Amino acid sequence: MRANDLETIGNSFTGSYSYTLDAKGRINIPAKMRKALNPANDRTFMATRGADPCIVLYPVEVWQQIAAKLLSLNKRRALHRHYTRNIARYAEALQYDHQGRIALPAGLIDYAGIGKNVKIVGMIDHIEIWEPERLEESDNQYADQLDDLDTISDEIFSLPL
């Protein structure tokens, strides 16, 4: 096993939690997720826009792998520069305080349409922060595509281990 694999074992996030954003824009990170975060990350997540309309938190270790891929793009190509810009510009490192909270940037709060209540969802290697109604809408949107979900399951689990 490579050292890199070992580091990542801790960073496994699951479960769904309801929390509240306080007046200062801070939000609690579930204790279980704080414990799951590898200490090498120094209590720090990279927050950015999700592909879905929510906020995504990556352990810095995971983000560094994303950043490394962005650096591998050809800087002479305008489209590649734009691609990097659109990912990097919304990303910000957030370290949680001794109460276990992070302060979400206003831009990301707007993007996710977050008010006072939020849902925090574990996504194995990262975490999603949703406005509760949006999450529900998203769920409904896929409720009539259950067959497709089965297909994805088939695809994933038929892969060689």
Partner DNA sequence: ACGTTTGTGGGTAAAAGTGGGTAGAATTCC
Partner DNA sequence: GGAATTCTACCCACTTTTACCCACAAACGT
Give the interface with DNA as residue ranges (CB under 7 A).
17-20, 22-24, 27-31, 35, 95, 97-101, 103
Nearer to DNA, 19 or 111 (CB): 19
Contacting a second copy within 43-82 (CB under 8 A): 46, 51-52, 64-65, 67-73, 75-76, 78-82
> Is there a contact between 112 and 129 (Cβ–Cβ < 8 Å)?
yes
DSSP state of 145: T
Residue 53 CA to residue 19 CA, distance in Å, equals: 18
4 interface partner picked from a second copy, DNA, none, CB below 5 to 8 A per type:
a second copy
Using rule CB under 8 A, residue 27 touches a second copy: no
Least spacing, CB of residue 66 vs DNA, in Å? 22
Residue 101 CB contacts under 8 Å (≥ 6 apart), including other chains: 22, 26, 27, 28, 29
Least spacing, CB of residue 56 vs DNA, in Å? 19
Nearer to a second copy, 100 or 105 (CB): 105
101 interface partner picked from a second copy, DNA, none, CB below 5 to 8 A per type:
DNA
Using rule CB under 8 A, residue 138 touches a second copy: yes
Question: Candidates 21-29, 37-45, 110-118, 143-151 — which segment interacts with a second copy by CB under 8 A?
Answer: 143-151
Residue 50 CB contacts under 8 Å (≥ 6 apart), including other chains: 56, 112, 128
Residue 141 CA to residue 132 CA, distance in Å, equals: 14
Q: Give the chain's end-to-end CA distance (angstroms, integer).
A: 15
Least spacing, CB of residue 65 vs a second copy, in Å? 6
